[in-house]
């Protein structure tokens, strides 16, 4: 007898996909209609996926991302102060070195703040700041805190919904 092949896409994946697409489209629409940058919110969602949707990592993602974006204006101030003395690029390198060093040295003591999520968001923020319109790091922080939290918690909620549906179905069979 030939063994039955599992379906190409499981019911759980189809439900997860449908709800996730709806969440993404709603978030895109809300941010677009309010003329807000989408990347600060979606970066958090992507980091959650990179953390294998481990809900224990949510605080690390949200706080680290906040800290990363917050460091962009600090970087700008640092460079402005040191640029007349040593030049802009060396000042930028010193700040980045200090930031990365702080992450390495403090990640075991303050892991919610000093983590790879912080560095990732500092890098993304620095890139976004070069694209018109002018950089808006404090608005980006607000978008990250509100939108990023909403998206990450939305994905977490979708996980719970799918688990509930699939758990109910499995126990019924």
DSSP per-residue letters across 130-145: TSSS---HHHHHHHII
pLDDT for residue 7: 81
Q: What is the pLDDT, as a whole number, of residue 110?
A: 98
Question: How many residues are present in the chain?
Answer: 173
Compute how many other C-beta atoms are within 10 angstroms of the C-beta atom of residue 165: 14
Give residue 173's pLDDT: 35
Question: Domain ranges in the chain?
Answer: 11-172
pLDDT in single tens digits along all 173 residues of the chain? 678 877 889 999 999 999 999 999 999 999 999 999 999 999 999 999 999 999 999 999 999 999 999 999 999 999 999 999 999 999 999 999 999 999 999 999 999 999 999 999 999 999 999 999 999 999 999 999 999 999 999 999 999 999 999 986 554 33
Predicted local confidence at residue 1, as pLDDT: 62
pLDDT at 169: 57
How far apart, in whole angstroms, are the C-alpha atoms of residue 35 and residue 4? 51
pLDDT score recorded for residue 171: 42
Q: Is the pTM of this model over 0.85?
A: yes
What is the spatial distance between Cα 92 and Cα 84, in angstroms, rounded to a whole number?
13
pLDDT given at position 6:
75
The answer to whether 65 touches 118, Cβ cutoff 8 Å, is yes
Q: Which pLDDT does position 39 carry in this prediction?
A: 98
Cα 69 from chain centroid (whole Å): 11
């Amino acid at each position: 007898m030939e063994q039955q092949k599992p379906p190409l896409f499981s019911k759980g994946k189809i439900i997860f996909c449908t709800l996730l697409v709806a969440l993404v489209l709603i978030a895109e629409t809300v941010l677009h209609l309010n003329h807000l940058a989408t990347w600060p919110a979606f970066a958090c969602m992507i980091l959650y996926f990179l953390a294998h949707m481990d809900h224990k990592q949510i605080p690390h993602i949200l706080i680290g991302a906040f800290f990363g974006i917050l460091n962009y204006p600090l970087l700008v101030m640092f460079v402005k102060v040191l640029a007349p003395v040593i030049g802009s690029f060396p000042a930028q390198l010193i700040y980045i070195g200090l930031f990365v060093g702080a992450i390495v040295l403090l990640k075991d003591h303050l892991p919610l703040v000093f983590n790879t999520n912080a560095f990732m968001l500092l890098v993304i923020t620095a890139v976004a700041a070069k694209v018109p319109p002018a950089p808006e790091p404090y608005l980006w922080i607000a978008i990250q805190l509100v939108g990023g939290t909403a998206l990450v918690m939305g994905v977490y909620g979708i996980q719970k919904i799918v688990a509930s549906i699939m758990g109910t179905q499995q126990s019924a069979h």
